[in-house]
Amino acid sequence: MWTKLYHNLAKPRYDHVWIVLLLIAEALLSTLIVKRVPYTEIDWVAYMQEVTTYQNGERDYINIRGDTGPLVYPAGFLYLYGFFKDIATRSIDTTDPTGLGGSTSPEAVRIIQWVFVVLYVINSAVVLMLYNAVLQRMRQQQNAQSSTATMVWCWRIAMGITCLSKRVHSIFVLRLFNDAPAMILLHISMYLFACCDSWALGCVVFSLAVSIKMNVLLFAPGLLLLLLQKNQSLIGTIRHLSICASIQLLLGWPFLTTYPISYIKKAFEFDRVFFYKWTVNWKFLPEEIFTSKPWALILLACHLGVLGMLTNKWWQSSISQLGDANARKPMRWTKCNKDKIRLSPEYVIYTMFASNYVGIVFARTLHYQFYCWYFYSLPMLLWLTSFGPSSSGDKFSKVVLPLVANVLAVAGVEYAFNVFPATELSSAALQMSHAYLLLKVVSSQVPSIRIDKEKMT
């Protein structure tokens, strides 16, 4: 009876039921957290100070600051959190001796917490749809093999894991960090790329994500490769990149036309140095090494080196899957034919997540809120390198062992981001988990690059 139930519940008609159940659980858990766990002030007051300074007419980014220092986010952040401020103060007394219009009062903060609960559930829905898109592709490629049910349940476990992070719940509904809305937009852009084949709109949303926090640029190398392969020409790729650039110019226009150097220098502060006491990933290093320029250059060299290695791996995969002539088409100035190219969802998602992940592994520092930059990619990358359509055979070696190892790897990362303050042990556990996944990405096969014409509907 249990075997029959196991196989029946693995059928496609229950996939959306599983997603709905997870979202209901997420909504209930997030509500419970807001009601039972005290809010902890970290950056919200500083955000409101920066927004208020902008709303009072200041356009020089050097002069826009809060208690935590000068503003270091692009203009989209000011517009979004200005909107949040308006929502928070619309129905409360705005008399405020701090001059922030009541936006930092307990009542205002609680209102924004509920807004972030909604945002969190929306983000979870988008992420689960990405996972479901990959699951459906796995079904198509595995056809009616007897191991289909096992593969489905493995992927449903991965979907469940994306709902279980204590730290990510905290980042969204207890801390109100701008990392959260930035990643929501990033995930929506990935859904547009992977599931809707809507690349122009996806570039708009991707650029909006960058305008809130520039960590989204870690996904840019993967997106550039995808644009080249999608457009099959340089001119088409430039057209999409111009969309991204136009959004940045439009949002930054009030600052670029008044104090352009100040805006560019602070909004995209690539040389920013972080404090050693907040690092999660390198706590086992002496502080003098952590803050040294040679260490920063070593990490940058490793980042670029691994990206180069993966670029070559993706190139070789293109040649083996598409043939040498088709693999070289993206480097032509104009498209040589009018055939429609549809990149597979798993390839789009895997490429963007892998691009970001390499940047995370070799980041000079990771703060606690940075976890949401890549938490949702961990099960996806681990499962795509472990439970593809060809993962049949002995159930223990092909399913049980990889599943246990993958869960332990995610648990190692989750453990590290829940130890406060970080310790040498927690940083070591994080780096071991990172190394395990990086090795799998480097050594595994690249997913199917595009969908066959007969499967494009």
Burial of 146 by CB count in 10 Å (0-12 exposed, 13-18 middle, 19+ buried)? exposed
380-411 residue pLDDT tens = 999 999 876 555 545 666 788 999 999 999 99
Highest mean pLDDT among 200-209, 230-239, 322-331, 387-396: 200-209
Pick from 441, 450, 449, 447: nearest CA to 310: 441
Give the pLDDT of residue 454: 45
pLDDT of residue 213 exceeding 90, the answer is yes
Q: Which one-letter DSSP state was computed for residue 162? A: T
339-374 residue pLDDT tens = 678 999 999 999 999 999 999 999 999 999 999 999
Give the pLDDT of residue 333: 57
pLDDT of residue 255 exceeding 90, the answer is yes
**Are 327 and 120 contacting, i.e. CB atoms less than 8 angstroms apart?**
no
40-48, Cβ contacts within 8 angstroms, sequence gap of 24 or more: 40/174, 40/175, 41/109, 42/175, 42/177, 43/68, 43/175, 43/176, 43/177, 43/178, 44/104, 44/109, 44/112, 44/176, 45/100, 45/104, 47/81, 47/176, 47/178, 48/81, 48/85, 48/100, 48/103, 48/104
Q: In this structure, what are the phi and psi dihedrals at residue 151, rounded to the nearest 5 degrees?
A: -60, -45
Give the pLDDT of residue 335: 60
Give the pLDDT band (50/70/90) at residue 330.
Answer: low
Distance of CA 69 to the CA centre of its chain: 26
- Reading phi first (left if > 0) and then psi (alpha if -120 to 50, else beta), residue 143 is in left
For the whole model, what pTM was predicted?
Answer: 0.94
6-26 residue pLDDT tens = 888 888 899 999 999 999 999
Give the pLDDT of residue 457: 42
What's the half-sphere exposure (Cβ side, CA atoms, 13 Å) at 368?
A: 24
Give the pLDDT of residue 352: 98
Gap between the Cα atoms of 86 and 168, Å rounded = 25
Q: In this structure, what are the phi and psi dihedrals at residue 414, rounded to the nearest 5 degrees?
A: -60, -40
134-155 residue pLDDT tens = 999 988 877 644 458 888 999 9
pLDDT of residue 211 exceeding 50, the answer is yes
Give the pLDDT of residue 62: 93
**Residues β-bridged to residue 204:** none
Report the pLDDT averaged over residues 297-323. 90
118-127 residue pLDDT tens = 999 999 999 9
**pLDDT above 90: percentage of residues in the chain:** 73
Query: One-letter amino acid identity for 379?
Result: P
271-276, Cβ contacts within 8 angstroms, sequence gap of 24 or more: 272/72, 274/364, 274/365, 274/367
164-197 residue pLDDT tens = 999 999 999 999 999 999 999 999 999 999 999 9
Report the pLDDT averaged over residues 269-274. 72
Q: What is the overall mean pLDDT for the chain?
A: 90
**Are 70 and 61 contacting, i.e. CB atoms less than 8 angstroms apart?**
yes
Alpha-carbon distance values, 293 to 92, 214, 297, 361 (Å): 49, 22, 6, 18
pLDDT of residue 97 exceeding 90, the answer is no
Query: One-letter amino acid identity for 208?
Result: L
Give the pLDDT of residue 332: 67
Report the pLDDT averaged over residues 423-427. 97
pLDDT of residue 271 exceeding 80, the answer is no
